[in-house]
Amino acid sequence: MSELRYDGKVAIITGAGHGLGRQHALELAARGAKVVVNDLGGDLHGDGASVGPAQEVVAEIVKNGGEAVANGGNVATEEGAASIVQAALDAFGRIDIVINNAGILRDKSFKNISTAEWDAVIAVHLRGAFLVTKAAWPHLREAGAGRVVNTSSPAGLFGNFGQANYSTAKMGLVGFTKTLAAEGAKAGIKVNAIAPVAYTRMTADLFPAEFADKLGVEQVTPLVAYLAHESVPDSGQTYTVGGGRIAKIFVAEGPGFTKKDGLSVEDVAANWEQISAQDPIQVFANIGEQTLATFQALS
């Protein structure tokens, strides 16, 4: 198989000063992409700011013969998001790829979480992906072959104790991905999401240290790079990835129970086992297919 290249393409990667984002930036640049390396430069909680981490990644890319510029904009603000997109336009004149990777943690059990801790995480992960993609969207439409990769999480897909804010934001990105895939289809824009399992500074306190090598960020980037490539066939999908394993995540519906002449509470209770049955499942490509199945069950 021929090498996948990104020559002439311009990629925006948020949160690219460390971890996954840094690896994505290095990989795409090595394969010919021109990269805007965005990073606020704060700590894991989003406190502080420094363009230093982004500049260090740019310096490494340039040293290796690539092209890149640094940006320290805050993805959670309209001004910050606009500055990221403008940095791409000023330096390279176009945008082809957006990789929404920026994130912070404010882990607390639900009984202890504050409104500020909730808002901060939603702002960076979910609002940030919205604002950056919104600013880039007209340029992706103009290019006619845009690619967006959003960073979800197994915590969003399956839940995780102490991460109500984080898991809500990450599952929100799945819905965001599916809707943008539908809206971008006619313009040639494909939008997908990843749910990575990787050893980074965000997960160092969660994963055993002995898994650091097996769950390296370099095991995640190949999927991201492929989803950012012009040849990727799919859109609106979410994939879990880590440790050399990649699998598609399905939103599925069981066979269910139907009573055409109207349900009572007692009907629900009496048929709970059938309502909860998981086999056979149906996987719908879009909301239209799911709604049609409901109509067919009633006809």
Question: Hey, which residues are catalytic here?
Answer: 166
Residue recorded with tokens 């809707």: 179
Q: Which structure tokens are listed for 96? A: 């082809």
HSE-CB at 136 with a 13 A cutoff on CA atoms is: 39
HSE-CB at 224 with a 13 A cutoff on CA atoms is: 30
Residue recorded with tokens 């805050």: 74
As a whole number of angstroms, the distance between CA 273 and CA 275 comes to 5
- Residues 6 or more apart whose Cβ sits within 8 Å of residue 202: 19, 44, 103, 105
Q: Contacts from 126-131 at CB under 8 Å and sequence distance 24+? A: 126/168, 126/169, 126/172, 126/173, 126/176, 127/75, 127/76, 128/14, 128/75, 128/76, 128/81, 128/100, 128/102, 129/75, 129/100, 129/173, 129/176, 130/176, 131/75, 131/76, 131/77, 131/78, 131/80, 131/81
